[in-house]
Structure 1
Amino acid sequence: MASSTPRVFVSHLAGVPVFDPAGDQVGRVRDLVAMLRVGNRPPRLVGLVVEVVSRRRIFIPMTRVTGVESGQVITTGVVNMRRFEQRETETLVLGELLDRRVRLVETGEDVTVLDVGIIQLPARRDWEIDKVFLRRGRGGPLRRRGETLTVDWSAVTGFSLEEHGQGAANLLATFEQLRAADLANVLHHLSPKRRAEVAAALDDDRLADILEELPEDDRVEILGKLQEERAADVLEAMDPDDAADLLSELPEEDRDRLLELMRPQEAAGVRRLMSYEEHTAGGLMTTEPIVLRPDATVAQALARVRVQDLSPALAAQVYVTRPPDETPTGKFLGTVHFQRLLRDPPFTLVGAIVDRDLQPLRPGTPLPEVTSFLATYNLVAAPVVDESGSLLGAVTVDDVLDHLLPEDWRQREFEGPVGVRTMPGGAS
């Protein structure tokens, strides 16, 4: 179809900024909404799902899109900030079309959708999907990548059928650079079927990070659809305190079975956390802070702090103890803060610069006292020590915030207030 507007493939739109006419950024594209039509007529693109600063997802009709170019989308008019609600007649292009198995009309061959192309119709603001980028073959150890080809929408069939076991590799590729919290938002807004398929395609570490950011119902649902051996592996990859929180939401029988499948050392730490009351220092702490012996050097401490997977709160200080240096440790000697590590020569022993002034928290310390302790001394983390003087773990400020906010704060953050789109075709 001839048009002065260049074709755009939707994978290139994932995450691009959306600007209003004044040049202010509204948010970022998280998906596109299409309406499939009968026969082989190309679907009409009705709008964009845009994530605004508050992480709420809103709907912007394509009739208000004036430009899609140079890695950005330009809109016109006032943006409606009501939350996007997908209708039964609508299809999410990134979330539901990519990775589908469809069939070439001419040969009857099954192919996989890698991407779809959209184009603006001449002299109108309407957009439609006109091209499909496909790969032949399912791949495998002997054939990882089949031949790729681009065809007209009318050359394939099967988009309107529900597919079981749909892949997720290409959907995930479009969101590869997202932080775990943002990808959790993507998963939350997918259908339960697609959510399970995407979770199955993620590696254990990435899925663990995302489960830590999801509302309670979503993570219980996802964990319940994993094979038990894999569920145990994912729990091991989670921070122990988050794994304990998730397991506590499961029926006792399921919880015990998963703990038995976990490695004994990992399960022991989680069991220990679950033995404490939820809103106490023991219930809030992580059992994996940075622990060093007093004869370790500043250089060794900085090497531990630099570990990429460590959270900023845990990387802000190291805890010095007598052996053993796995929690529960030997006698707790004190803390060395990151700034002090930067001020002293690399060969300095951490035992010589340890801060012994602040009294550590006890595992039974209630949440209000934990909060006051962190606020009073301007700390982002604090040690938790038992009566015998052994370090049990550390409470971080993010753990405290999780419990100070309303229980459904993640759900509210992802969804926000609900609005209703009243005009046909997705306009509001």
Structure 2
Amino acid sequence: MAVVTPRVFVSHLSGVAVFDPNGDQVGRVRDLVAMLRTKGSGTRKGRPPRLLGLVVEVAGRRRVFLPMTRVTGVESGQVVTTGVINMRRFEQRASETLVLGELLDRRVRLVETGEEVTVLDIGIIQLPARRDWEIDKVFVRRGKGGALRRKGEALTVEWSAVTGFSLEEHGQGAENLLATFEQLRPADLAGVLHHLSAKRRAEVAAALDDDRLADVLEELPEDDQIEILGKLKEQRRADVLEAMDPDDAADLLSELPEEEKERLLTLMRPEEAADVRRLMAYEERTAGGLMTTEPIVLRPDATVAYALARVRDPDLSPALAAQIYVCRPPDETPTGKFLGVVHFQRLLRDPPFTLVSSIADTDLPPLPPDATLPEVTRHLATYNLVSAPVVDDGGSLLGAVTVDDVLDHLLPDDWRETELHGEELSPPEDTGWAPEVDDGGA
């Protein structure tokens, strides 16, 4: 009796944990690597593509290659591997294809009818009595729309029933690819974009909404930021810059040519552009250049209950939500007279009806906008703060410096690229992997 091998659809593997034989988690699946076989390949003519391995993200956001011959099980929401994983950074070869990154959302044609369909998912299966895996099924939707919410019949067909995967496609969608990464944090999605081709990176960026793209851009290296922004339409560039934190938008704009910078600032909403212009007026490595202009600012008569409601805003970073700033009107930066800060812990200890002005810490010295990066660092360390107020000579609150912005400037300029690429390590003496004609990704 033939043994039936379960089929796995690749969308279910995105982000799945990878475990070693001892049951310890070693990373998470970020993509799959396949080799598309073309016609005229001798004995392999007509065979479905062979799955070479998995791209696994390990500690430090390093991406490594795990050969499928090392995979002993793909079940119950996990991947089990055997032996030692080669920690050398994954580099895609020209003959290799990323299944999630490059095949989902492709427009291909049914061989029988010539009808155009969109790839929603890919099914893989392990060959009987072997550790090799192949792509055997393609889940497609009829019509030009690739998103699951759009109308059109969906069907699962054999790999041999579709054609066009090897053709270059312009304007490929990204809805189904993004659906597989929906739960990723912005920093992790930035890692996905960084490792895609420039063409695919632009297509995925175009499919993201403004807020999500803004969050991802803030986590990318400078070169990637400029590349992605440059491929957006001009008005959308301005919209994405508006959605970014003002300090990050100012940093990005400062890298653009003067003419383009002014054009984008003109397209932005006046109030958003004003904040960015104000930040760009300060030296980069000063409190004024590091600060954000959007801390939580409350008037003296605000209550603890209202302050806690403001702190609960899910769009706030933990550093900005750690304390509120009490100021006289106006309560938009630059504010009226700065009165003091109230730490989140203090808000939790006082009754809801308490006025924030009565519990504000008025002894904490604020930072002047021209304070240097070492001075800002010492200030945060001295007072055990995750954010600090920046106040001008007139006593008005200009913004707040958060610890994450300070770390960005304390780390080497290329720290994001180092994190995304990973440092080159010498491979373990016994990797258990030997190069083969079709294998790759090491």
TM-score, structure 2 normalization: 0.94
What CA distance in whole angstroms lies between the structure 1 residues aligned with 2:394 and 2:307?
Answer: 25
What CA distance in whole angstroms lies between the structure 2 residues aligned with 1:68 and 1:341?
Answer: 48
Aligned residue in 2 for 1:366 = 372
Deviation at 1:417, TM superposition (A): 2.9
Within 5 Å, give how 1:26-41 maps onto structure 2.
26-39=26-39, 40-41=46-47
| SS of equivalent to 1:194 | helix
| SS of equivalent to 2:252 | helix
User: Does the alignment pair 1:382 with 2:388?
Assistant: yes
Aligned residue in 1 for 2:76 = 70
2:33–2:441: 8 Å Cα contact kept in structure 1?
no
1:55–1:414: 8 Å Cα contact kept in structure 2?
yes
What CA distance in whole angstroms lies between the structure 1 residues aligned with 2:411 and 2:441?
Answer: 34
| SS of equivalent to 1:395 | strand
What CA distance in whole angstroms lies between the structure 2 residues aligned with 1:356 and 1:423?
Answer: 66
Equivalent residue in structure 1 for 2:105, among 99, 107, 115: 99
Cα 1:140–1:174 change in 2 (3 A) is closer
Aligned residue in 2 for 1:88 = 94
Deviation at 1:140, TM superposition (A): 9.8
Cα 1:200–1:3 change in 2 (3 A) is farther
2:250–2:277: 8 Å Cα contact kept in structure 1?
yes
Aligned residue in 2 for 1:391 = 397
Deviation at 1:4, TM superposition (A): 2.8
Equivalent residue in structure 1 for 2:435, among 404, 423, 427: 423
Aligned residue in 2 for 1:79 = 85
Equivalent residue in structure 1 for 2:125, among 113, 116, 119: 119
Q: Deviations over 1:217-270 (max 9, x none)?
A: 001100000001001000000000000011111111111110000000000000
What CA distance in whole angstroms lies between the structure 2 residues aligned with 1:3 and 1:197?
Answer: 41
Aligned residue in 1 for 2:12 = 12
Aligned residue in 2 for 1:165 = 171
User: Does the alignment pair 1:145 with 2:151?
Assistant: yes
2:91–2:441: 8 Å Cα contact kept in structure 1?
no
Q: Deviations over 1:50-103 (max 9, x none)?
A: 000210000000010010000000111111001000000000000000000000
2:92–2:440: 8 Å Cα contact kept in structure 1?
no
2:118–2:145: 8 Å Cα contact kept in structure 1?
no
Within 5 Å, give how 1:178-193 maps onto structure 2.
178-193=184-199
Aligned residue in 1 for 2:417 = 411
Give the count of matched residue pairs.
Answer: 426
What CA distance in whole angstroms lies between the structure 2 residues aligned with 1:311 and 1:59?
Answer: 33
| SS of equivalent to 2:65 | strand
User: Does the alignment pair 1:227 with 2:233?
Assistant: yes
What CA distance in whole angstroms lies between the structure 2 residues aligned with 1:23 and 1:124?
Answer: 23
What CA distance in whole angstroms lies between the structure 2 residues aligned with 1:52 and 1:223?
Answer: 29
1:233–1:262: 8 Å Cα contact kept in structure 2?
yes
Within 5 Å, give how 1:125-136 maps onto structure 2.
125-136=131-142
User: Does the alignment pair 1:286 with 2:292?
Assistant: yes
What one-letter code is carried by the residue in structure 1 that aligns with 2:36? Answer: L
1:3–1:120: 8 Å Cα contact kept in structure 2?
no
Instruction: Spell out structure 1 runs of 4+ moving beyond 4 A.
Output: 418-422
Deviation at 1:416, TM superposition (A): 1.2
Q: Deviations over 1:116-175 (max 9, x none)?
A: 10001111111000000000012499x922100000000000000110000000000000
| SS of equivalent to 1:313 | helix
Q: Deviations over 1:164-190 (max 9, x none)?
A: 000000000000000000000000000
Deviation at 1:418, TM superposition (A): 4.2
| SS of equivalent to 2:405 | helix
TM-score, structure 1 normalization: 0.97
Deviation at 1:376, TM superposition (A): 0.5
What CA distance in whole angstroms lies between the structure 2 residues aligned with 1:229 and 1:165?
Answer: 19
2:119–2:146: 8 Å Cα contact kept in structure 1?
no
Aligned residue in 2 for 1:247 = 253
| SS of equivalent to 1:392 | strand
Cα 1:42–1:215 change in 2 (3 A) is same
Aligned residue in 1 for 2:223 = 217
What one-letter code is carried by the residue in structure 2 that aligns with 1:131? Answer: K
Q: Deviations over 1:254-310 (max 9, x none)?
A: 111100000000000000000000000000000000000001111110000000000
Aligned residue in 1 for 2:22 = 22
What CA distance in whole angstroms lies between the structure 1 residues aligned with 2:195 and 2:69?
Answer: 23
Deviation at 1:3, TM superposition (A): 4.8
Task: Structure 1 unaligned segments of length 5 or more: list them.
Answer: none
What one-letter code is carried by the residue in structure 1 that aligns with 2:297? Answer: V
Equivalent residue in structure 2 for 1:263, among 262, 266, 269: 269
| SS of equivalent to 2:109 | strand
What one-letter code is carried by the residue in structure 1 that aligns with 2:440? Answer: G
Within 5 Å, give how 1:316-395 maps onto structure 2.
316-395=322-401
Aligned residue in 2 for 1:402 = 408
Aligned residue in 1 for 2:42 = none
Q: Deviations over 1:177-219 (max 9, x none)?
A: 0000000000000000000000000000000000000000001
Q: Give the aligned CA root-mean-square deviation in angstroms.
A: 1.5
What one-letter code is carried by the residue in structure 2 that aligns with 1:30? Answer: R
| SS of equivalent to 1:54 | helix
Deviation at 1:38, TM superposition (A): 1.2
Cα 1:422–1:366 change in 2 (3 A) is farther
| SS of equivalent to 2:318 | coil
Aligned residue in 1 for 2:430 = none
2:120–2:146: 8 Å Cα contact kept in structure 1?
no
What CA distance in whole angstroms lies between the structure 2 residues aligned with 1:168 and 1:422?
Answer: 35
What CA distance in whole angstroms lies between the structure 2 residues aligned with 1:19 and 1:343?
Answer: 43
1:133–1:151: 8 Å Cα contact kept in structure 2?
yes
What CA distance in whole angstroms lies between the structure 2 residues aligned with 1:18 and 1:252?
Answer: 47
Deviation at 1:422, TM superposition (A): 7.0
